[in-house]
Amino acid sequence: MPDNRDSAEGAPIITVRAMSKRFGDFEALTDISIDVRRSEVLCLIGPSGSGKSTLLRCMNFLERYDEGEVRMEGELIGWRDDGAAPRRPLPSAVLREQRKHIGMVFQQFNLWPHFTALQNVAEALLRVKRLPRDEAFARAEAALGKVDLADKAGNHPSGLSGGQQQRVAIARAIAMEPRVMLFDEPTSALDPELVGEVLSVMKQMAAEGMTMVVVTHEMGFAAHVADRVAFLDRARLVACVPPAEIFGATPADERIRAFLQTYR
Ligand code: ADP
Ligand code: MG
């Protein structure tokens, strides 16, 4: 894993400014401004339908935001930055270039069933990064080692548990050496006994300085691993604060209190 702690720790990697997103007449995100700082773990929590996935997906332009800006190290994500109105999206080759720096892990693992774990991790390095085969496979092996699956490199997804499959998906993202990793409920599809192994890999990544945005219902992870916790409710960012302000004391905001009640 690249050492992200070498420079400017705490400086924003992603800045979201006054960002709004509609689906037809429905406003899924309203006037969101938030930074993702280098080497931080930012957890996104909030009720179902509050806009967490949409916010994550706007960060890599899987969803086109309508208003405002998402920038990665200053560069406008998704839209051409030429001041033209209406805005036009970037050419797909440029967008692909931007996305190389943003890893994403979904609830569903999306592994290729006919490939081994190792091939699954190597594939993006071959196709997207166009690395030579031996280099791609060497990097893929190292990435599998990071998620503690060196011994399962030859298994196909059908021969892996859900937790192991999700760790392969994480290895696949790590191998690309992204500047930031986005996780959308990475443990929600797992049997309860498999959640821990995935969270512990994520915790390890955090300790090594990876910048991470994590949508999660794992309040223990948010409380103990996050540097900051953002709470979304009905398309709005209600708070973005250190976890102690949400989990330690009684939160001032009634919406946060009501949400946390559902976990007791
Ligand atoms: P969360 O991840 O917090 O559960 P989402 O970001 O998935 O919430 O969704 C926020 C709101 O936007 C929900 O009301 C959802 O129904 C709506 N939504 C999400 N994606 C679409 C879409 N592609 N088309 C229409 N509505 C959508
Ligand atoms: Mg969601």
What interface predicted TM-score (ipTM) does this complex get? Answer: 0.99
Residue 145 CA to residue 229 CA, distance in Å, equals 29
Average pLDDT over residues 197-211: 97
Q: Provide the 8-state DSSP code for 73.
A: T
CA of 66 to the centre of ligand 2 (A): 19
- Ligand 1 shell residues, CB under 6 Å: 23, 26, 28, 46, 48-54
Average pLDDT over residues 191-216: 97
Least confident stretch, 10-14, 91-95, 192-196? 10-14
**What pLDDT is attached to residue 101?**
97
| Contacts for 151 with CB less than 8 Å, ≥ 6 apart | none
Looking at ligand 1, which atom is closest to the CA of residue 63? 23
Q: Is 69 helix (H, G, I), strand (E, B) or coil?
A: strand
CA of 185 to the centre of ligand 1 (A): 14
Looking at ligand 1, which atom is closest to the CA of residue 46? 3
Looking at ligand 1, which atom is closest to the CA of residue 215? 2
Residue matched to tokens 């429905």? 26
Residue 264 CA to residue 259 CA, distance in Å, equals 10
CA of 219 to the centre of ligand 1 (A): 21
| Contacts for 196 with CB less than 8 Å, ≥ 6 apart | none
In the predicted structure, residue 5 carries a pLDDT above the cut 60: no
Q: From atom 14 of ligand 1, which residue's Cα is the shortest distance away?
A: 49
Query: E-strand spans in 77-173?
Result: 102-105
Contact criterion met (CB below 8 Å) for 129 and 175: no
Q: From atom 26 of ligand 1, which residue's Cα is the shortest distance away?
A: 23
Q: From atom 7 of ligand 1, which residue's Cα is the shortest distance away?
A: 53
Q: What is the mean pLDDT of the chain?
A: 95
In sequence order, what are the beta bridge partners of 14? 36, 72
Q: From atom 23 of ligand 1, which residue's Cα is the shortest distance away?
A: 23
Contact criterion met (CB below 8 Å) for 163 and 197: yes
In the predicted structure, residue 82 carries a pLDDT above the cut 80: yes
Residue matched to tokens 């689906």? 23
Residue 15 CA to residue 183 CA, distance in Å, equals 17
In the predicted structure, residue 199 carries a pLDDT above the cut 80: yes
Pocket test for ligand 1, best of 32, 53, 216, 217 (most atoms within 8 A of CB): 53
Contact criterion met (CB below 8 Å) for 72 and 98: yes
Token code pair at residue 223 = 């409380």
Average pLDDT over residues 136-145: 98
Q: Is the dihedral of CA 34, 36, 40, 42 positive or negative?
A: positive
User: What share of the chain in percent tops pLDDT 90?
Assistant: 92
In sequence order, what are the beta bridge partners of 170? none
CB count within 10 Å of CB 30 equals 16
Q: Is 159 helix (H, G, I), strand (E, B) or coil?
A: helix
Residue 248 — very low, low, confident or very high, per pLDDT cuts 50/70/90? Answer: confident
**What pLDDT is attached to residue 252?**
83
**What pLDDT is attached to residue 9?**
65
In the predicted structure, residue 6 carries a pLDDT above the cut 80: no
Residue 4 — very low, low, confident or very high, per pLDDT cuts 50/70/90? Answer: very low
Instruction: Tell me the pTM.
Output: 0.95
